[in-house]
Amino acid sequence: MFTTIMNSTSAAPFTDSPREHDQVRWYAAQTCANHEKRVLQQLCERTVEAYLPLYASVRRWKDRRVQLELPLFPGYVFVRMALRDRLQVLQAPGVARLVGFGGQPAALPDQEIETLRHGLAHEMLAEPHPYLKVGRRVRVTTGPLQGMQGILVRKKNGSRFVLSLDLIMRSVAVDVDEADLAATEKPGWAEKGIR
């Protein structure tokens, strides 16, 4: 499940050059707790392209079960903008800041966000996962996430592909068939004989 409103492999730090200032890129806007959907609505009203990936979660109460759509990355909404337009985002009620380094917003890799959007649009079942940085690194070779790199983890009798967004230190997990994965090596590991 996903929500996107469109009107009109590491983060790239912001540099104060006019070219960077005018380039349209994806950024992560940190929101106040439980304000992601409200922020999305505010950004839509301000004609800012925003993306809030959602997943379905069943909650049980004493007398019923309810299916909710919850943010896949709690506390964040992704915005696509040029940095010259950042005040439109920062002044939206519920937005705390744009994620970055040293007080400067950092762009997310376009491929990560676009592939995530594509995968969720094709009914890929994803859910939040504890942030992972270490593990068996793999690359998806077929399907909606083709080309993405992440970590392979085992769950019961199946395998899960964990995609981590290092900039916001959040991960999502997707059930995958191991036949759709290929092992990757970190640079320098092959020369040292480490596997």
Q: What is the C-alpha separation between 28 and 177, in angstroms, rounded?
A: 30
Residue 86: partners with Cβ closer than 8 Å, 6 or more residues away: 27, 98, 105
Q: What are phi and psi of 86, to 5 degrees?
A: -65, -25
Whether pLDDT at 21 is above 70: yes
Angstrom distance (rounded) from CA 136 to CA 40: 35
Q: 3-class DSSP state for residue 41?
A: helix
| DSSP code at position 108 | B
Which pLDDT value is given to residue 16?
A: 53
Closest CA to 14 of 22, 6, 4: 22
Instruction: Report which of 138, 126, 131, 141 is spatially closest to residue 174, judged by C-alpha positions.
Output: 126
- Both ends of the chain: CA-CA distance in Å? 36
Question: What's the mean pLDDT in 131-143?
Answer: 91
Residue 119, pLDDT > 70, answer yes
Q: Is the pLDDT of residue 8 over 80?
A: no
The answer to whether the predicted template modeling score (pTM) of the entire model surpasses 0.75 is: yes
Beta strands of the chain (E only): which ranges? Answer: 2-5, 12-13, 24-31, 49-60, 65-71, 76-82, 95-98, 100-101, 104-107, 126-129, 136-140, 149-155, 158-165, 170-176, 181-183
Does pLDDT of 2 surpass 70? no
In the chain, the percentage of residues whose pLDDT exceeds 70 is 85
Residue 12 β-bridge partners: 107
Distances (CA, A) of 27 to 11, 51, 142, 180, 191: 9, 10, 27, 29, 35
Distance CA(108)–CA(58), nearest Å, equals 30
Amino acid at 22: D
